[in-house]
Amino acid sequence: MENTSPQARIAELTNLIDRYNYEYYMNDRSLVSDYEFDELLSELIGLERAYPDLAMPNSPTRRVGGEVNKTFNQVAHRFPMLSLGNTYSIEEIEEFEARTRRLLDGVPFTYTCELKYDGVAIGLTYRHGQLVQAVTRGNGAVGDDITANAVTIKTVPLRLTGSYPDDFEVRGEVVYPFEPFNEMNRQREAEGDEPFANPRNAASGSLKLQDSAECARRKLMFCAYFVMGPDEAITQLPPTHSGRLEAARQMGFKVLPYTAECRNITEIKAYIDHWDRERWNLPFGIDGIVIKVNQVPLWDRLGLTAKSPRWAIAYKFKAERVSTPLVSVSYQVGRTGVVTPVANLQPVHLGGTTVRRATLNNADFIEKTDIRNGDWLLIEKGGEIIPKVVGVDPDHRLPDAMPVQYADTCPECGTALVKADGEAGRYCPNADHCPPQIVGRLEHFASRKAMNLESLGPERLELLYLSGLVANVADLYDLTPAKLIGLGVDSSASIQEKGAAAIMAALDASRQVPFERVLFALGIRFVGEVGAKKLARYFGNIDALLAATPLELAMVEDVGEVTAAAVSDYFAKPEHIAIVNRLRAAGLQMSVVSQQVSSALEGKTFVVSGVFDGFSRDEIKAHIEQHGGRVSGSLSSKTTYLVAGDKMGPEKRKKAEKLGIPIISEAEYLALCSQTE
């Protein structure tokens, strides 16, 4: 390797990594270990940094992400992105088939039937075999340029292989396979983020992420279903749709193998029946099947309706629905005391899984749906993975069935439930002694975005609570290795020497967690990450915050009256003040001022834009504040400097120039910080 020129090594690594990626994501084949792969990738990243001019176009290092999308440019589709006529009715499929045959008037033809992927449609433009742009469907005429995020999807080829048209487009669907989707949702829940309702929403949200590195972590998949281009550019493509998909596969696209060529309605119906049953065994969601005339030259003869082609139609599966007896209603108590009713059902098979429980949301839902004791409930599973109660089965209503009586006491601690004004739910007000609320608060406190106590997962926290060692977050800081070792010997959460050391280390590290996160970690109702940050920055320290009146609290940006009242109520309780004081005594950060390392940037306002080498965007913002500077989101006459990273948009630059604001690089910025230090 010493004899290889950087240029040759870059080319070699690029090709090698492309091949390994291809085998892994297209063919499920690992040719090297993860470790070796990472080594090669970091070598390439290093070489490209050292020799930026030698990087090959569309290098696989782009897949790691890092580009920041401030806004998504709107771009016009070269060819409108049509949608399909769709139906839930087999009769309409029969009509489609008969009409197509009639219009084609004896010309021999076939259909391709394929899966209707339940995701987000995008179009990928390739020139000279290189991906140049990825655009969402948008309104069909104009979509969003999401190239920076699309390149992070491993099944979007960046460079094509074999032979391909010089200038063309491949369309398909970005889907979020169930396994990584569930994994991501589990993680979101653990971190206190709202989970996505279904893989489609998650795929769509992922493509619109500002941080493409985050998109790279979401394991999305692109399934190609359509190849097109200007007529003169695609003459080399086969004349059938199935042939074109096969050609796309040869070029490096993921074309799933579930397509079938059908000659008549009987075969089409058999395909539909097969996938209506088998769809639950797929690793990703489909919401129907698509039937297309296979012979491309016939498409012009069939033409278009207002918004969809006459040569294709989608058959959509009905959401699968079953009816099953309601056995009982139980109640779950969350961290904030909100009580959620859950239907315990007679186990029933639905869409590939057995359903035993389903949420009943809140008291209003039970009332509006008119759920009565002894009822059979209708359960549906559509695009959503989580089964939903959609109503009561009228065929099983007993003549004198009594409405379900909502619990009036907490199932966990027996306290009378309270219905807050304007809220559909009821909650248990016994915040300080109701076990699931206590453990829930401990979990929140330990979560990544709060104190990040990694070694204290839910099971261990429950163990600490049940063993009587920890009843509130302050108790965590009284733990010692001696108290911890040997706990829960028979459980999977058991704590030995190593575990105890890890817990102590995590607690110790949490003493450096900034005040805003400590405030968030307290779990005050309605105070999320952003609210905590705003409150911390506004008041500067815990004493000022404790002394604030509701009116003063409500003056803070993003803190409304409801939150202000919740904060005020929280600190009005002596037991909460006691916890705060114990946390303070334990050494947790209780002010933001201690964060400031210098006043080098005092009086200066910065706008940051683009991607930086040594910082993430949040880090550089925090760094500015630590040196006494201010960060603003937009350029104005008050801006002192625009700190420009890589790939800053041209608009920003123009605006700064127009306002006469100096544009400085990351290095110049750092020099500025150290001037007076």
200 binds ligand IVH (CB under 6 A): no
The residue assigned the tokens 């029946």 is 273
Q: Which is nearer to ligand IVH, 258 or 538 (CB)?
A: 258
Please state, in angstroms and rounded to a whole number, the distance separating the CA atoms of residues 498 and 318: 53
Element (H, E) at 358: strand 353-359
Q: Which is nearer to ligand IVH, 309 or 628 (CB)?
A: 309
Q: Which is nearer to ligand IVH, 115 or 431 (CB)?
A: 115
Q: Out of 41, 121, 545, 567, point to the residue binding ligand IVH (CB under 6 A).
A: 121
CA atoms within 13 A on the CB side of 543: 2
Least separation in angstroms between residue 115's CB and ligand IVH is: 6
Least separation in angstroms between residue 309's CB and ligand IVH is: 5
Find the part of the chain contacting ligand IVH (CB under 6 A) among 95-103, 309-317, 419-427, 565-573.
Answer: 309-317
Least separation in angstroms between residue 557's CB and ligand IVH is: 39
The residue assigned the tokens 């001037």 is 675
CA atoms within 13 A on the CB side of 379: 28
Closest residue by beta carbon to ligand IVH: 121
114 binds ligand IVH (CB under 6 A): yes
Q: Out of 62, 77, 116, 652, point to the residue binding ligand IVH (CB under 6 A).
A: 116
Least separation in angstroms between residue 121's CB and ligand IVH is: 3
Least separation in angstroms between residue 143's CB and ligand IVH is: 12
Output the CA angle 85-86-88, nearest 5 degrees: 160
Sheet of strand 167-175: strand arrangement:
130-136, 120-127, 167-175, 221-228
Least separation in angstroms between residue 239's CB and ligand IVH is: 17
x/- letters, 224..243, toward ligand IVH (CB under 6 A) = -xx-----------------
Q: Say if residues 537 and 592 touch (Cβ distance below 8 Å).
A: yes
Report CA-CA distances (Å) from 311 to 139, 262, 297.
Answer: 21, 14, 11
Q: Which is nearer to ligand IVH, 115 or 389 (CB)?
A: 115
- From the centroid of its chain, how far is CA 544? 36
| Token pair listed for 543 | 């004493």
The maximal CA–CA distance of the chain, rounded, in angstroms, is: 89
290 binds ligand IVH (CB under 6 A): yes
x/- letters, 62..101, toward ligand IVH (CB under 6 A) = --------------------xxx-----------------
Reply yes or no on whether 116 is catalytic.
yes
Residues near ligand IVH (CB under 6 A), total: 15
Q: Say if residues 393 and 375 touch (Cβ distance below 8 Å).
A: yes
169 binds ligand IVH (CB under 6 A): no
Q: Which is nearer to ligand IVH, 172 or 351 (CB)?
A: 172
In terms of Cβ atoms closer than 10 Å to its own Cβ (0-12, 13-18, 19+), residue 138 is middle
Q: Which is nearer to ligand IVH, 122 or 522 (CB)?
A: 122
Please state, in angstroms and rounded to a whole number, the distance separating the CA atoms of residues 204 and 647: 24
Q: Out of 312, 355, 503, 507, point to the residue binding ligand IVH (CB under 6 A).
A: 312
Least separation in angstroms between residue 85's CB and ligand IVH is: 8
Q: Say if residues 626 and 670 touch (Cβ distance below 8 Å).
A: no
- DSSP string for 613-670: SS--HHHHHHHHHHTT-EE-SS--TT--EEEE-BT--HHHHHHHHHHTPPEE-HHHHH
173 binds ligand IVH (CB under 6 A): yes
Q: Which of 70, 116, 388, 498 is catalytic?
A: 116
117 binds ligand IVH (CB under 6 A): yes
Q: Which residues are catalytic?
A: 116
Which stretches of the chain bind ligand IVH, using CB under 6 A?
Answer: 82-84, 114-117, 121, 173, 225-226, 290, 309, 312, 314
